[in-house]
Structure formats: structure tokens, C-alpha cells
Structure 1
Amino acid sequence: MGNKLDLKALTALVIGSMIGAGVFSLPQNMAAIASPAAVTLGWAITGFGMVCLALTFQELTMNKPDITGGVFGYAQAGFGDLCGFFSAWGYWLSAAVANVSYLVIVFSTLGLFFDTSSMTLFGNGNTLLSVGLSSILIWLVHALVMRGVQTAAIVNYVTTIAKLIPIIIFIVAALFAFKWHTFTFDFSGVTIANEPSLFDQVKQTMLITVWVFIGVEGAVVVSSRAQNRKDVGRATILGLLTCLFLYVSVTLLAMGVVSTPELAKYPNPSTAKILEALIGKAGVVIIGTGLIISVCGAYLSWTLLATETPYTAAKDGMFPKCFAKTNSNGAPTHSLWLTSSVVQLCLIFMYLIGGGYDDLLTVASEMILVPYLLVGAYLLKLSRVELSTTRVRMIATLATLYGIWLLYASGFHHLLLATLLYLPGIAFYLFAKHESGEPAFKGRNKFILIGVVIAGIVAVYLIANGVKL
């Protein structure tokens, strides 16, 4: 049991992977596009949808204990090896690319403390010094994970607790300073001419809330390492409800401290300026320190999730067998080397092109939403056969609809571009099938492959002709 994870470690992984830098900028991000009423409705809809998704994970972990491949294992079981592979490839690549953004945020935050008008050390996290220190951080985390998932999970548990402290301090301070008349000022945001309707405001909030819950599947991805299978579902629900409470509290309480129009003009991380107004300069230090700890913790969480993906997929025959190899500490060495190397290459690429990383991050992030939809669709498929209870059918239907909504809200055009990132992965899939002696594209897999290739060709054609996607 030395390399197994208990309920606390699994819950910390869920919370740690969901809470990164976004929570510290949520007040301004929300105030800039929506009124308190719209934000409240947006969180209610998102919270309901994410609870349905979490319940889907719980149902599947309980009723399909033989599937240990996490979110992509469900895609494989429900829709075949190729769908399972694309789900695993998209999840892994998205996690690796997104990790670069955490490194950028860490050192751009340090720039707030150390950069001056005459000397820029860290800048926006893309200076030579930032890239050098980011590279050191990549390989320090690499060395930590090499010591075993259990060791990394303990460190993640500590950083998760540490990152919650500044958020709780903010919530308590904002609770005491909260004024109802400030919160209800232009409550619906439609009293001023030419302002968006309440429905349009709610829709805009969803574009933000799509991303802040990514990571809810953290415990499911490492389910093969859980001490108790039941803890996977429990950790998912517990982690989700904790993050939902924190997100809603930070956002709505801030709108009761500073009026929405004024809050919309705040620089980010907006929580720093709010807390500074409430408790003085210490507020900036608390939020700045919390943000750095939070992002470093999120980087560790996502390194664990990204590394576990090729490892688990290899055990299920979707990735080449070499990625299933572990060292004496139980750490998947080849998978970890692949993940760390891709993060390092993306970091160097970002430095060489001097920015432009945001587009890649947006497209890659879209790939992580596809497994969510396939998980809901798999339970929906099961609800018509073996799990045919009203409760399961309702959960599955709502989770599937929410998965479709997530793709719609984040932009189907990004999904079209994402097909270009799926294509290189086919080489991994072909090699894995060659090793097992199985045909790579049989039955419906041929049609799935043709569909992805055609979508990729269309994306290339549109880009070549200057069409903005």
C-alpha cells in the first residue's frame, strides 16, 4: 500500500488541480462582463452541471471498478480503442501545454514584487531569467515525482492546504466588509441603455466558469492508485463542493465590497487590491504569496495527472508499452520524461516566438472537454442497458447535455483547430497496435479517423486562407 492514495490525498489532488491562478482574478473577470444577478445565476447553472458530472464519475467508479483508465478508460469502454486513445492523447497534451501557463504566471507574479521601472527581471513571465528559473522548476518537480506518486501527493496535500489559507483570509475579510446595498446596486445590470440582457450576461459568465472546474476528474485519473475505490467518487464530490463554495464566496462577496462597475476596472489579481483596501499592504503580500503557492501546487497536480495518463493508457493498450514502465518507487518513468520534455519544449517555443502562446493554450484546453462529454455519453449508454434506473438516466442525460454545453460555450471552432493536435498522436496509436498485433482501424474506427483527418484538413485550409477561427 506504500504507493496508494487515501481519501485526503485524492481530495487534495482534485482541489489542487482545480484551484490555480484563476480564483485570484475571478472578481474582476466576472464584474467586467456581468451583474451580481447574472453571476449568481451563472454559478448556479455551472454548479449544477458540474455536480451532475461529478455524480457521473461516482456512478462509473462504483459500477465499473474494472475500468482503471480514468476518464479515457470510460471513452475506450464505451466507444472503442481509437476514441479512448484520442481522449487520452487530448487529455495528456492539454495538461502538458497548460502547465506552461502555470510557470508563466509564477514568474510574472514575482515581477510584481521585484521588477522596477528601470529593471525588468521577470516581466510577463517570458524573460530569459523567467524561462531559466521555470526550467529549473520543471526538473525539480520531475525529480519529486520520480520519488513516487505517494511522495508527490504528500507535497501536493501540503501545498493545497497552504493555498487555501489566503483564499479563506480573503473570504473572512470580505464577509465583514460586505454591504448589501453595494451588492444590489444595479443588481441585474440592465437598467443602463445598451447593456446586455440578463441572458447574455449569464452566457458570458459561462465562458469563464467553463475553465475553473477543469481538474474535477483528478481522482478518477489516478483511480488505479486509490487505497479504496469508493474514495475516488467521494474525493471528486468533496473536492468539487469545496471549490464551488470558494469560487462563489470570492466572487459574490467581492461584489458586496466594491460596486460592480468599479470592480470591473481593477487590475488583476483583483483580490490583492480588494484585500489591500481592507487590511493594508499585507493584503497584497498575502494574495501574491498565495497565488505563487497555488500555481506551484497546481503545476505539481497537473504534472501528476499528465504523467499518469500515458502510463494508464499504455496498460490498457492505447499507448506504446514502454510508457507502462515504472521505477522502484512506482513512478512511471517514460511517461514522466515525455511530459517534462514537452513542457520544456513548449516553454522554449514560447520564449523564441515572444508570446502567442495563448492561442495554443485555448485550443489545447478544448481537448480536455472532449473526455468530459464522452464520460457522460458512456453512462448514458449504460443507462439504457445495465444501469437502467431513473436516477442514473437523469444524471447521465444532464451530464451529457452539460458536456455539449461546455464545448459550445468554449467554441466549436477551437475544437476544429484541436483536430490538428490529435493528428500527431496517431503515430503513438499505430505503434501501440503494432505491438499488440491488432488492426489499428477496424469497424467504426475507420470513420472516426476519416472524420478527424477531414476536420484537420479543413482547419489547415481555413488557416491558410486567413480565416480567423
Structure 2
Amino acid sequence: MAENNSTKMGVVQLTIITAVNMLGSGIIMLPSKLAQVGTMSVLSWIVTLGGALCLAWVFARNGMFSKKSGGMGGYAEYSYGKAGSFMSNFTYGLSLVIANVAIAVSAVGYLSVFLDMKLSPVEVAIWTIILVIVTTLLNFGGAKITGRIGSVTVWGVILPVVILAVLGWFWFQPSLYVASWNPHDISFFDGIASSIPITLWAFLGLESAVANMDAVENPQKNVPIAVMAGTIGAGIIYILSTNVMAGIVKNSALLTSNAPFGLTFSTMFGSWAGLVVEGIMVLACIGSLLGWQFTIAQVFKSSADEGYFPKVFSRVTKNDTPIVGMLILMTVQVLLSFMTISPDLNKQFNVLVNLAVVTNLVPYLLSMGAAKTIQLGAGVKPTNSVFRLTNVIAVIAAIYSLYAMYASGSQAMVLGSLVTFFGWTAYSFVAYKFDLSSDKLEKLNNNHAFDAEEDSVKE
């Protein structure tokens, strides 16, 4: 029977969904970070867009041919076995936890401006913790309500960003833009390198673009088109919105602002517009936090189901909510909030972003390294021109990822390395499940059962 495609998405719908997935709350503090470099950061955008397109292409190809579940962990398993799959899940899960705290910090920044409050570093941490706790508790009702809230609040970020990218040019002053090219006298290569992590931060999540593969007409053709077009679309909006802003507001003002989009709309339309934008962006961040709290818990749950993480993360309530896992992850986020206290909210945000980027790039690198194996396993011929092209693009994407790690700075690299090495240590506790032969594993389990029975007899 022919497959009915009437209910499936077309390439245009998938492209829009892909772009919207990337245009989340990660952008709202970008202009303040980029102001530390100046408008020469537009060159970093171009480099990052090229790197993101390479990553997106390989993720699309991996998604088309992979037969394993688990997203990037499934991809990594092709080339690196269960150890690589574990490491991919471990670092990806932690990067999401770190990114969540960064989103909460962004929300606090906008909230402080919206309510006209001057917060001390400790007060910023306390408000961040409150947001983390509240958004965790609100998820106890299940995914359905969370999904509905997130699908509405995300537009609180998307609409201001798109409006600024389209209409902001009427307020754009070329002289102001030129004056902001390199206001802090940073060397050319240092300037580009220092803004690579924050521009990549905006594209994190592009790997999720292949998640809707089964719901798309002609996925072999349409998924790569949608992934590439969606990434380009998001990149253009990012570049236009952040660069037009630099021609509307002075660099010195952007540099110290905790709500750069609110400041820009105030300059364009008046203070009322700034307040509206600040308010809806706070709501958008809270909605994003709601969604990510549930998503992170699901990522840890799926890893626990695979046998990677402790079984406590697999426990769910009647409405399939992993509450215990959420509470553990909430505790980790609270500790991170205290650990990143800084006199400058932007610095606090930067520490989190750089660490999130480094840890997220580990599964990216593993996925790039799996591309050739995945295609060969699916029967793609080595003489195929697309096969060869994909392998070349995967190498370029891997080089870009390594460069982005380096550009994140020594502190993020050291912390990211510690996280990764801790991951290898953690894998040693579960490796026997996958690396012992089935007969040896069965014998080991029988011995455990015998020992438990013997202990109960002694008691």
C-alpha cells in the first residue's frame, strides 16, 4: 500500500520549524557580549555560519542513514562503540544543564531592567535559583502543558528579533556602526576568536533539526534542504539583528546593558516599547526554561534507560514525568548558579556560555567522526560523490569545532576537560554491561544473585 503523505510536512514547513528551533532565548544577551569585540564580530558570524552549515549537513546525513536510536549518542556508537555513545550522552546532558542556567541568568538580567532593580551578584544568583526551582516544579504536571506554554512564549524572542532585523534599518546610523568596529583595540584574530563561542551558542540545537524526519515527505531529499535552509535563515536573522543594533545604540551602552534588545527598542520607539520587549523576553525565557527542564530530564531518563546513568533518572510518575531526575538536575543547576557568581552579569553569562559550548562540542565531534561509518553501514558506496563530499564536510566541521573549543578560552577548556575526564571515570562503573560477553555478564549477574541470597540467609 502506498504511504499516505497527506499528513506529512513539506520542505517549507520543516525549514520554518528548523529555524524556529534555533531562534530561541539564547540570542537575548548576545549583543552585550558581542559589544566587547565590536562590529568586527560580523566576521565571526560568517565563520560560525559556515561551521554551522557544515555541522548541519553532516547531522542531516547521519539522521538519514543511522538505524540506532538516541540521537548523537546513537551516531557516536557507530565509530566509538558504547563508550563513545555514553560520552556523547554524558557531555550533551551536562551542556544542557549548564545552558539552562545561562538562560536563567539572561531572564534575570531582563527582569532586573524591566522592574528597574539594581541587583548585587548574590541577588542575581538568588533570582536565578528561584527561576530554576519554579520552572522545575511547574513541570511536575507533565509535558503537555509545558509544550503548549513553550510554543507560545518562544515568539516573545522571535518577533522582536525579526522585527529588529527587518525594520531596524530605518534607525541605522552607518557612522555609529563604523565607530564601533574595534572600539577596544583588540587584535584582528583575537577579536574573531573571542566572539566565535557566543555566535556558536546561538546555533546550538541545530542537531535537533533531524528529529522530525519521520514526519516529512521524501526525507532523503527534503531533510538536508530544510536543515541547510533553516540554518541559513536563522543565521541571516542573527547577523542582521545584532549588526543593525550596533548602528542604533552606542557600543558603550550595549556593553553594560543587561537587556540589550529592550534598550534598542527604547531607542527606536520610546521607553514603552523597551518595557514591552523586556517583559515578553522575560516570559520567553521562562517558557524556554520550562521546556528545557523537561527536555533535560528526558535526556537523562533515556540515558538511564540505556544503562548509562543511575536508574533513579528512569523513575516516572503516572503522567510519565521523571520528577526525581528533575529534582536532582535542579540541585545541580542551583550549585552552578552559586559557582558562577560574578560582579558583572555579562561575565557570569559568558562563563556559562563558554562552558556549555565546550561540553556541547564533544558530542558534535563524535557525531562528525561517525559520519563515514554510518554511511558505509547503510550501504552507501565509497565511490558515491555525496559520500565523499560528506566526509570532507565532516572533517571541516570537526576542525571548526576544535577551533571553537580553543576560542572558548582556557577556563572553559580546563573545566570542559575535567567534565570529559570525569565522564570516562563514570563510564567505568557501567562498562561491564556492554564490554563483557553475554555469557560472562550472565555469570556475573548470577553470582550477584547468589551473594544476595547468601547474605539474606545469614541475616
1:81-113 Cα offsets, whole Å, 9 max, x none, are: 112111111111221233233334334432323
Question: Relative to 1, partners in 2 of residues 1:265 and 1:147: Cα closer, same or farther, differing over 3 Å?
Answer: closer
Q: Write the distance in 1 (CA, Å) between the matches of 2:18 and 2:290.
A: 9
Question: Relative to 1, partners in 2 of residues 1:187 and 1:109: Cα closer, same or farther, differing over 3 Å?
Answer: closer
Residue 57 of structure 1: aligned partner = 59
Compute the displacement of 1:54 (Å). 0.6
Residue 460 of structure 1: aligned partner = none
Q: What amino acid is the match of 1:29?
A: K
Counterparts of residues 259-298 of structure 1 (less than 5 Å): 261-262=251-252, 265-298=255-288
Q: Write the distance in 1 (CA, Å) between the matches of 2:78 and 2:326.
A: 25
Residue 81 of structure 2: aligned partner = 80
Q: Write the distance in 2 (CA, Å) between the matches of 1:55 and 1:82.
A: 25
Question: Relative to 1, partners in 2 of residues 1:421 and 1:5: Cα closer, same or farther, differing over 3 Å?
Answer: farther
Compute the displacement of 1:14 (Å). 6.8
- Equivalent residues of 2:301, 2:325 under 8 A apart: no
Compute the displacement of 1:313 (Å). 3.0
Q: Does 1:175 align with 2:165?
A: no
Q: Does 1:257 align with 2:248?
A: yes
Aligned residues: 417
1:399-433 Cα offsets, whole Å, 9 max, x none, are: 12222222221136633433433466567645545
- Equivalent residues of 2:22, 2:234 under 8 A apart: no
Compute the displacement of 1:77 (Å). 1.8
Question: Relative to 1, partners in 2 of residues 1:147 and 1:199: Cα closer, same or farther, differing over 3 Å?
Answer: closer
Instruction: Give 3-state SS (helix, strand or coil) of 1:67's partner.
Output: coil
- Equivalent residues of 2:305, 2:314 under 8 A apart: yes
Q: Does 1:372 align with 2:364?
A: yes
- Equivalent residues of 2:111, 2:279 under 8 A apart: no
1:173-215 Cα offsets, whole Å, 9 max, x none, are: 41221234443x35864xx9x9334343322332421322222
1:339-378 Cα offsets, whole Å, 9 max, x none, are: 4422234316645996697657744542111111111121
Q: What amino acid is the match of 1:396?
A: A
2:35 paired residue among 31, 36, 39: 31
- Equivalent residues of 2:75, 2:367 under 8 A apart: yes
Q: Write the distance in 1 (CA, Å) between the matches of 2:311 and 2:202.
A: 34
Question: Relative to 1, partners in 2 of residues 1:309 and 1:102: Cα closer, same or farther, differing over 3 Å?
Answer: same
Question: Relative to 1, partners in 2 of residues 1:12 and 1:284: Cα closer, same or farther, differing over 3 Å?
Answer: same
- Equivalent residues of 2:91, 2:360 under 8 A apart: yes
Question: Relative to 1, partners in 2 of residues 1:138 and 1:435: Cα closer, same or farther, differing over 3 Å?
Answer: same
Q: Write the distance in 1 (CA, Å) between the matches of 2:299 and 2:238.
A: 28
Compute the displacement of 1:252 (Å). 1.6
Q: What amino acid is the match of 1:253?
A: V
Question: Relative to 1, partners in 2 of residues 1:46 and 1:355: Cα closer, same or farther, differing over 3 Å?
Answer: closer
Q: What amino acid is the match of 1:165?
A: L
Question: Relative to 1, partners in 2 of residues 1:241 and 1:96: Cα closer, same or farther, differing over 3 Å?
Answer: same
Unmatched runs of 5 consecutive residues or more in structure 2: 1-6, 439-459
Q: Write the distance in 2 (CA, Å) between the matches of 1:59 and 1:200.
A: 33
2:45 paired residue among 43, 48, 68: 43
- 357-366 or 165-174, larger mean C-alpha shift: 357-366
Q: What amino acid is the match of 1:105?
A: S
Counterparts of residues 65-214 of structure 1 (less than 5 Å): 66-114=67-115, 124-127=123-126, 131-132=129-130, 134-140=132-138, 142-144=139-141, 146-148=142-144, 152-183=146-177, 185-186=178-179, 189=182, 195-214=185-204
- Equivalent residues of 2:262, 2:278 under 8 A apart: yes
Instruction: Give % identity.
Output: 22
Counterparts of residues 13-28 of structure 1 (less than 5 Å): 15-16=20-21, 19-20=24-25, 22-28=26-32
Question: Relative to 1, partners in 2 of residues 1:16 and 1:61: Cα closer, same or farther, differing over 3 Å?
Answer: closer
Unmatched runs of 5 consecutive residues or more in structure 1: 441-469
Residue 309 of structure 1: aligned partner = 299
Q: Does 1:343 align with 2:343?
A: no
**Alignment RMSD (CA, Å):** 4.0
- Equivalent residues of 1:111, 1:124 under 8 A apart: no
Q: Write the distance in 1 (CA, Å) between the matches of 2:334 and 2:108.
A: 13
Q: Write the distance in 2 (CA, Å) between the matches of 1:59 and 1:294.
A: 32
Q: Write the distance in 1 (CA, Å) between the matches of 2:121 and 2:132.
A: 11
Q: What amino acid is the match of 1:245?
A: I
Residue 4 of structure 2: aligned partner = none
TM-score by length of 2: 0.75
Instruction: Give 3-state SS (helix, strand or coil) of 1:408's partner.
Output: helix
Counterparts of residues 418-429 of structure 1 (less than 5 Å): 418-422=416-420, 425=423, 429=427
Q: What amino acid is the match of 1:19?
A: G
Q: Write the distance in 1 (CA, Å) between the matches of 2:401 and 2:257.
A: 32
Question: Relative to 1, partners in 2 of residues 1:116 and 1:315: Cα closer, same or farther, differing over 3 Å?
Answer: closer
Residue 454 of structure 2: aligned partner = none
Compute the displacement of 1:58 (Å). 0.5
1:274-326 Cα offsets, whole Å, 9 max, x none, are: 22121001222122123213322332343344233233334544345665566
Compute the displacement of 1:161 (Å). 2.6
Residue 391 of structure 2: aligned partner = 393
Q: Write the distance in 2 (CA, Å) between the matches of 1:255 and 1:300.
A: 31
Q: What amino acid is the match of 2:44?
A: G
